Chain A
Amino acid sequence: MSDETKGLTRRRALECGLWAGAGVLWTVSGGVPRSALLGTAEAAEMGADLTFVQISDSHIGFNKPANPDATATFKSLLDRIAAMNPRPAFMLHTGDVSHLSRASEWDTARSLIEATGIETHFIPGEHDMLVDNGEPFFASFAPQGAKPGGWYSFDQKGVHFVALVNVAQLKPGGEGSLGAAQLAWIENDLKGRSASQPIVVTIHMPLWQVYPQWGWGTEDGAQALTLLKRFGSVTVLNGHIHQLLQKVEGNVAFHTGMSTAFPQPTPGTAPSPGPMKVEPGRLRELLGVSTVSHVAGKKRLAIIDRPLGA
């Protein structure tokens, strides 16, 4: 990548307000996202009923120049999460736990996560589905009661969490997909719920069309969004693209978390996606986790993206 391209990437990111050299608090209200630097009065205002953390794309096993030790950066971030006060209620891992679907990679991830003592809910990324259609991943990481395809839902402090799988049996030329069986399950899962109940969807590939040229989207995502339309507060947390990205459409806030392993280029600024090598000092600015808080009675969920280097 040329220096010029790199400069453009950074400038574009700054323009979009997504660059996070320090922790940034995101609040979304009435369709307008606002941000505030961590440590400000606004950021301190968050007396929350439920706080949880999104971790993503740990790619345990990755050891290429973009990050020769993805296990070390994952552990650094988990150490921080374990030290958080107040302690998060749980963690959501939005996929690509492993790099090559190897049992040793999953074991490493699991033991590091268990060391935090924080309950964690998982969904797979395509890197977790490389062997036997993901069966080894589901056997180890899907909760009891998950459907055969690995999707499930649960409730926590009045918030309904829907964990979806859009990385199974990807079709040539396509993007992520949910499939008819999962869409039917979502419809049934949401049936009868009050429209005022906050919904959090957790999924690996973006549910909306981020950049189809790189396959960054879900081909039948619009059908899922139609099912979510009647709810007043919907937050979609995904991984896969290894960079912060936020979009609000109606009552739905889309948020893409950082990877804990390596960054990827901003869409269109490189010939292809893939691990992006940055100067060693900058890597930790581009890896991180997101903290999400819900205040009962408030429509918005507040999201703080915390880079490792902050």
Chain B
Amino acid sequence: MRRLKFLLLVAAMLLTPLIARAADQTVTIDNFVFTPNRVTVAAGTRVIFINRDDIPHTVVGIGAGNFKSPPLDTDDKFSVTFDRTGTYKYFCSLHPMMTGTIVVR
């Protein structure tokens, strides 16, 4: 029993940083497309958007998302950390046909 408790404690210590801070997820903008267009991440994940086009774009949450990037010029980055589970849709306010989805589990 003592040994089991010890193991659980070790496991918790190992897992804590993972729970507190999931790996970053990158979404690039290439040829007017958010890529990958739909990603599923763990709660607490930081999503980093990178504009790789020669034209500015923005990343703007729709409804529940409520996040808004400044204009991103070529190679500019913008990040959002998603702490709560849910489905977050977003679009580019310059080129509104560009949309994407982040699913947080």
Q: Do these two chains really belong together in a complex?
A: yes
Q: Count chain B CB atoms within 10 A of each CB in A66, A173, A174, A175 and give the residue with the most.
A: A173
- Whole-angstrom distance between the alpha carbons of A173 and B91 in the complex? 8
Do the beta carbons of A274 and B31 come within 8 Å of each other? yes
Most buried by B among A65, A214, A272: A272
Which residues of A lie under 8 Å from residue B58 when comparing CB positions? 130
- Knowing A65-B54, A127-B56, A130-B56, the reply to whether A271 touches B31 (Cβ < 8 A) is yes
Set B31, B54, B56, B95: member contacting A215, Cβ < 8 A: B95
**B56 in complex: contacting residue of A100, A174, A213, CB < 8 Å:** A100
Mark A268-294 against chain B: 1 for CB-CB distance below 8 A, else 0: 000111110000000000000000000
With A127-B94, A173-B96, A215-B95 already in contact, the answer to whether A274 and B32 are too (CB < 8 A) is yes
The answer for the CA separation of A138 and B32 in the assembled complex, in Å, is 28
* Chain B residues in 8 Å Cβ range of A306: none
In the assembled complex, A34 has its CB within 8 A of some CB on chain B: no
Contact of B89 among A99, A126, A172, A274 (CB under 8 A): A172
Residue-wise interface mask of B (59-96) relative to A, using a CB-CB cutoff of 8 A (1 in contact, 0 not)? 00010000000110110000000000000010101111
B-facing mask of A201-222, CB < 8 A → 1, else 0? Answer: 0000000000001110000000
Q: Which residues of A contact B32 (CB under 8 A)?
A: 214, 271-274
User: Do A272 and B33 touch across chains, with their CB atoms under 8 A apart?
Assistant: yes
Residues of A within 8 A of B48 (CB): none
User: A64, B91: Cβ atoms under 8 Å?
Assistant: no
Report the Cα distance A274→B71, complex, angstroms: 16
Q: How large is the interface on B (under 10, 10 to 19, 20 to 34, 35 or more residues)?
A: 20 to 34
- Which single residue of chain A is at the shortest CB-CB distance from B91? A172
Q: Does A266 contact B (CB under 8 A)?
A: no
Smallest CB-CB separation from B62: which chain A residue? A172
- Indicate whether A170 sits within 8 Å of B93 (C-beta atoms), given known contacts A65-B54, A272-B31: yes
How close is A124's CB to chain B, nearest CB, in angstroms?
12
Partner of B74 from the list A64, A170, A171, A215 (CB cut-off 8 Å) is A64
A100 touches B54 (CB 8 A): no
Whether, in the assembled complex, A101 has its beta carbon less than 8 Å from a beta carbon of chain B, the answer is yes
Give the CA-CA distance A213 to B97 in the complex, in Å: 8
20 new A-B contacts, CB < 8 A, other than A213-B97, A273-B32, A275-B55, are A64-B74, A65-B54, A66-B54, A99-B56, A100-B56, A100-B71, A100-B73, A126-B95, A127-B94, A130-B70, A130-B71, A130-B94, A170-B93, A170-B96, A172-B99, A173-B96, A173-B97, A215-B96, A272-B33, A274-B55
Which residues does B use to contact A, with CB under 8 Å?
31-33, 53-56, 58, 62, 70-71, 73-74, 89, 91, 93-97, 99
User: Which A residues are within 8 Å of any B CB, using their own CB?
Assistant: 64-66, 99-101, 126-127, 130, 170-175, 213-215, 271-275
